[in-house]
Amino acid sequence: MRHNRAHMSNYLDWLLAGLALCLFSVTPAMAQSTSPEKLPHVAVLATGGTIAGTAGSETQTTGYKPGVLTADALLKSVPSLGKIAQVSGEQISNVGSENITNDILLKLAKRVNQLLAQPDIAGVVVTHGTDTLEETAYFLDLVVKSDKPVVVTGSMRPSTAISADGPSNLLQAVTVAASPEARGHGVMIVLNDRIGSARYTTKTNGTSLDTFKGNDSGYLGTLVDEVPHFETSVLKRNTTSTPFDVSKLDSLPEVDIVYGYQNDGGFMYDAAVAHGAKGIVVAGVGAGSESLLTLPSIKKAIAQGVVVVRSSRTGGGFVPEDPAYVGLLGDDLNPQKARILLMLALTTTKDPASIQAMLHEF
């Protein structure tokens, strides 16, 4: 009997310990689900794109209409967001990203800075068409004045598609934006389980889900079961350590990109200068080479005060110094990102040496 009583009291001890353990491990999760006001506040700024796009059938993944769903409709389509953050939506534009203009960029960047200056905002997510997503992300990377996370996301399949990727990408983007670990990484691009830097991530495929890649530089991290795992960081200067101040800008200087190819000519450069370009990015062949057919026009543009930057059309690699060619070196920036940096650089200086330093540092 004694033995049984002891056995019984042991059993009760275990039961009580188990109950306490359950209470301790369940309480934080329950507190989260019952106290949404304790969750971090993430602002979602919608600009359009496929993530807000609709098509005529669930199998149609091209030729659909981007930028249809509103910011509120996007947020309502992912109820799980409410378990991660208090989310609020705002519409900045509702366009396919081929129609993102300098005016939209400035409006978006100013709003991101306003929001991040609010103590109650933990981070910002921007939803965007994927075609020029990297340009907007890099622009924000250079002008956001905060260490708080800013995440740009989109989708490759419209909201109506079977296995649409938008809801999962939005959930992952909000997860990263709400995560304290994500601070200080510069602006991030989150799609398809990957966390990439705005500086290095680029769209590599026009139709595949697995399109955003960091090329030579890889990713900042990965999401597994909606948990972000950061593994690397970017050494380039961004956000709070750049001199760019969008609060004082109402427009951006014209910078055009001219593509290099066999038998090209100088007329595209002449046209850009005649149109008012203050800067030209050469999307040169190989490591930024310029043909003999184009060099007279490029030299003429430089003599007229236009800042020319050499970049590569190959999708990778650094542009080296080469006495055969003219213009500043675009580091390993692709042409579209070199254009973004050159526009901002020209808002602060026309001095080629200072702009060259920025091209290497940012």
Tell me which residues are annotated as active site.
Answer: 50
Of 61, 86, 113, 130, the one binding ligand GLU (CB under 6 A) is 130
Contact letters for ligand GLU, residues 69-108 (x by CB under 6 A)? ---------------------------xxx----------
Of 40, 123, 154, 330, the one binding ligand GLU (CB under 6 A) is 154
Q: Which stretch binds ligand GLU (CB under 6 A): 36-44, 47-55, 214-222, 302-310?
A: 47-55
Number of chain residues interacting with ligand GLU (CB under 6 A): 12
Nearest approach in angstroms of CB 61 to ligand GLU is 10
Q: Per-residue DSSP letters for 204-258?
A: --SS-SS-EE-GGG--SEEEETTEEEE-----S--GGGS---GGG-S----EEEE
Question: Which CB, 66 or 260, lies closer to ligand GLU?
Answer: 66
Question: Which CB, 86 or 130, lies closer to ligand GLU?
Answer: 130
Nearest approach in angstroms of CB 265 to ligand GLU is 30
CA distance 131 to 152: 12
Detail the DSSP E strand segments found in the chain. Answer: 41-46, 86-91, 121-127, 150-153, 188-191, 194-197, 202-203, 212-213, 221-224, 227-230, 255-259, 279-284, 307-312, 328-329
Question: Which CB, 67 or 221, lies closer to ligand GLU?
Answer: 67
Q: Does 166 bind ligand GLU (CB under 6 A)?
A: no
Nearest approach in angstroms of CB 91 to ligand GLU is 15
CA dihedral 100, 104, 110, 113 (to 10 degrees): -30
Half-sphere exposure of 200 (CA within 13 A, CB side): 23
Q: Does 156 bind ligand GLU (CB under 6 A)?
A: yes
Q: Which stretch binds ligand GLU (CB under 6 A): 127-135, 222-230, 288-296, 320-328?
A: 127-135
CA distance 40 to 43: 10
Nearest-CB residue for ligand GLU: 129
Record the tokens describing residue 304, joined without a space: 């007229």
Query: If you search the block for the tokens 């004045």, which residue do you land on?
Result: 145
Dmax over Cα atoms in the chain, in whole Å?
Answer: 106
Query: If you search the block for the tokens 């670990």, which residue do you land on?
Result: 181
Of 40, 45, 50, 330, the one binding ligand GLU (CB under 6 A) is 50
CA distance 151 to 125: 5
Q: Does 66 bind ligand GLU (CB under 6 A)?
A: yes
Q: Does 127 bind ligand GLU (CB under 6 A)?
A: no
CA distance 85 to 148: 15
Q: Does 129 bind ligand GLU (CB under 6 A)?
A: yes
Record the tokens describing residue 94, joined without a space: 């509702």
Q: Does 201 bind ligand GLU (CB under 6 A)?
A: no
**Residue 320 DSSP symbol:** P
Q: Which stretch binds ligand GLU (CB under 6 A): 18-26, 69-77, 124-132, 185-193?
A: 124-132
Question: Which CB, 121 or 171, lies closer to ligand GLU?
Answer: 171
Pairing outcome for strands 41-46 and 121-127: parallel
Question: Which CB, 50 or 179, lies closer to ligand GLU?
Answer: 50
Contact positions vs ligand GLU (CB under 6 A): 48-50, 66, 96-98, 129-131, 154, 156
